[in-house]
Structure 1
Amino acid sequence: MDKLAFLFLACILAGFALIKLPLAGSPLAGIQPITSLIGILAILVFSLVLIFRGIMALVGK
């Protein structure tokens, strides 16, 4: 399997970790929406890249 695919999967997992990051009650509680937004964007971007690469592999390019 392609090494980049594992990297993309790791980025998706990191995005989920950013969404679930508990910042309530800490001095960083104000950046909770920013970390959630970055996590959502990471999940979306890397998922779309994996889907695109999978389609290209099926097509044969």
Structure 2
Amino acid sequence: MDRFEVLMVACILAGFALIRVPLEGTFLESVEPVTTVIGIVAILLFSLFLLYKGVRAMLGK
């Protein structure tokens, strides 16, 4: 696996971490909806990119 694809997988894991981070009881509690949206967008974006790269590899381009 290329380093770029490993970086994409790491970004997907970071998105899951942003969704699951517990912020209640801290001063960052008000930004929890923002971190959730950023995490979801990161997961979707990098997952779709990896799917695109996989389809291109299967088609031989």
For the superposition of Structure 1 and Structure 2, which TM-score range results when normalised by the shorter chain?
over 0.9
Residue deviations 1:15-52 (CA, integer Å, cap 9, x gap)? 00000010001010000000000000000000000000
Identity of aligned residues (%): 54
Specify every segment of 5 or more residues in structure 2 that has no aligned partner in the other structure, as ranges: none
Q: How many residues align?
A: 61
Moved over 3 A (4+): none
1:38-49 equivalences under 5 Å are 38-49=38-49
Query: With structure 2 as the length reference, what TM-score do the two structures score?
Result: 0.98
For the aligned residues, what is the CA RMSD?
Answer: 0.4
1:1-61 equivalences under 5 Å are 1-61=1-61
For residue 23 of structure 2, give the secondary structure of its aligned residue in structure 1: coil
